[in-house]
Structure 1
Amino acid sequence: VVSFLKPTNRLTIASEVVIQHYEEAPLDFYIEDYAVNYPFVYAQADWADLAAFQQPIFPLDQPTVNQWLMQMGISTIPEQTFTLLTKLNQTINQQFRYQIREEAGVQTPAQTIQMGSGSCRDYATLFIEACRCLGLASRFVSGYSHAPATEAGNATTHAWAEVYLPG
């Protein structure tokens, strides 16, 4: 209830709302039964759509990436697909030193492995190439990272990988 001392012809209400949404179960998604465990073969109906996302981007780096996967204990040994992807992600995070790079383009996966460092786009490229060596369809994605503490208009680019899991 609002009371005014005298009549007015204008009422201004200023409101600011901050909403933070957190997924209660961010990993609660459906995966087709045949893809829950790795290795698996994508359904034949998906082959044409996924073919481009399974081809190596850096075919000359495949021996280096395969050797790195084996050294890290990541291979075609049967395990849950999500566990395999988590292991790959954590291995990259723990083994490599993050480095901001202003140069255009990406390092090859072999360069990232050899140097032991890279930017987010280099990490994503290595992750994608590793997934493709394992037969998993994956792609490169980039966008802007929201940074609420920075001044308006300031944003930073970010790159990540997506893996197609049927479901």
Structure 2
Amino acid sequence: MPFLTLSHVTTYTYKQPVSFGEHRIMVRPRESFDQHLLEATLTIDPEPSDVRWLQDVFGNAVAIATFTRHGSRLTIDSKVRVQHEPGDVQHVDIEEYARSYPFTYSSEEMPDLLRSIERQHLDPQREIDTWARRFLNLEGATDTLAMLTAMTTAIRREFTYVPRAEKGTQTPIETLRRRKGTCRDYAMLMIEAVRALGFAARFVSGYVYSPGGGRDSRKGGGNTHAWVRVYLPGSGWVEFDPTNGIVGSEGLIRVAIARDIYQAVPISGTYEGFPGSFLDMEVTVDITVDPPVPSHSPLTTASPVENREPIRC
């Protein structure tokens, strides 16, 4: 039951003062049965004239900040404390009818899953389809969870992880052909691959950490991370991280869930200034895992505290 302290700081710098337009900020972790938000503070400099919170169509917490002040620097600093209780992947309990592939979602669930099954990228040569079908057992029934696990670990094993600071995502076909990419590229490839097989899948943006407290054992740390959720009857949405070969939510903190990557951008906004004003964007994510409590010591649970100014989350 790790307790985490998470700091996510994004800083934009400019050659001279600019005016800031509306900014949409999605960095607050989601509350769920396996992750509990204990504290959350969002600090923005220069201070916005107004900040309002909303839940988007997927239930993600979004802060909308508007500004009247100018500045040559914009800093968005999110600090949270989370209690994380990831479930054991061995306890993924899939309904009997869905344990072997292929299967069809129930008539009650299908209407709500359809948009998450629809393909989002063109595949005229059926390259993604062909690659996805390599994980099927052609001589008999295919174990659903084993097949999805094999796809997850194959991406981690066969592709080269290359961090990329530039905006944008490779198309799934580009990632498949190049055999390299970032966590977001891998996530979009796997989403399209499982959708090609008829599964409902969603994009997840959040953070990755090493449960043991190490800093370098998992790829994607020090920044926001991306992975996949696949809907499995009986267990609901199950996490698959193809960058690290993780099945389940151990070491993964969800912030945003969406049908497509463009719906889960952590921070987006506009500014007005002279051409070429923008200099740089720097992102720092630091996660500290509390040391385990000795077995002879009583376990205490941190209580939620009131969020501090200048912005209440």
Would you say same fold, with TM above 0.5? yes
TM range (shorter): 0.7 to 0.9
Q: Work out the CA distance in 1 between the residues paired with 2:171 and 2:191.
A: 11
Structure 2 gaps of 5+ residues are 1-82, 216-220, 235-313
1:58 matched to 2:110? The reply is no
Equivalent pair of 1:140/1:160 in contact (CA under 8 Å) = yes
Matched with 2:179 is: 116
Matched with 1:28 is: 91
Deviation sequence 1:89-139 (CA, Å, 0-9, x none): 111111110010112121111000111101001111001000000001001
Between structures 1 and 2, the one with greater helix share: 1
Alignment counterpart, residue 135 of structure 2, candidates 74, 80, 88: 74
Equivalent pair of 2:116/2:201 in contact (CA under 8 Å) = yes
Deviation sequence 1:32-87 (CA, Å, 0-9, x none): 111111111000111110000100110336711012234xx224743110011011
Q: TM-score, normalised by structure 2?
A: 0.42
Return closer, same or farther for 1:86/1:61 CA change in 2, 3 Å cut-off: farther
Aligned-pair identity in percent equals 38
Q: Work out the CA distance in 2 between the residues paired with 1:88 and 1:146.
A: 22
Matched with 2:9 is: none
Q: Work out the CA distance in 2 between the residues paired with 1:92 and 1:48.
A: 30
Q: Work out the CA distance in 2 between the residues paired with 1:58 and 1:38.
A: 23
1:37 matched to 2:100? The reply is yes
User: Bigger relative contact order, structure 1 or 2, given CA contacts below 8 A and separation 6+?
Assistant: 2
Alignment counterpart, residue 126 of structure 1, candidates 189, 199, 202: 189
Return closer, same or farther for 1:140/1:62 CA change in 2, 3 Å cut-off: farther
Q: Work out the CA distance in 1 between the residues paired with 2:206 and 2:196.
A: 25
Between structures 1 and 2, the one with greater strand share: 2
Q: TM-score, normalised by structure 1?
A: 0.76
1:155 to partner: Cα distance: 4.5
Equivalent pair of 2:172/2:188 in contact (CA under 8 Å) = yes
Q: What is the root-mean-square deviation of aligned Cα atoms in Å?
A: 2.5
